[in-house]
Amino acid sequence: MNGKDRLARFLQTDPRDVGCDEAMAVLHVYVELVADDPAAAADRFPGGAVHLAACGPCREDFDGLLAAVRNEG
């Protein structure tokens, strides 16, 4: 991937992105769905999945909550 492609990818935005507040409001529900069936989770919360792919801090929170759920059993 060259520099222009990287820039284009970085600037790409998705209108389905629900933003931080909405994604965080359902994070606990989404994480449990992902732990059981990631594809089903993305089907149920497509805008949340898009947001978590684009927003680094929310993705970090998602990763942390998923790790906690998996570690605690």
Partner 1 sequence: MDPLAELDDDSAEWLRVLDPGADDHDAGLARLHATLLRIARGELHRRRTSMVAGRELDDLAHQSAADAMLAILAKLGTFRGESRFTTWAYRFVILEVSHKLGRHYWRGAPEPLDDEQWDRLPDRLGVDPQEHAEAGRLAEAVRLAVEQGLTERQRTVFVDVVLHGVPLDALCARDGTSRSAIYKVVFDARRKIRAVLVANGYLASREEEPA
Q: Is 53 in the site for partner 1 (CB under 8 A)?
A: no
For 37: left if phi > 0, alpha if psi spans -120 to 50, otherwise beta; the answer is beta
Which of residues 11, 16, 36, 52 is near partner 1 by CB under 8 A?
A: 11
Q: Is 36 in the site for partner 1 (CB under 8 A)?
A: no
Q: Which residue type occupies 26?
A: V
Q: Which residues are near partner 1 by CB under 8 A?
A: 2-4, 6-8, 10-13, 17, 19-21, 24, 27-29, 31-32, 55-58, 60-61, 63-65, 67-69, 71-72
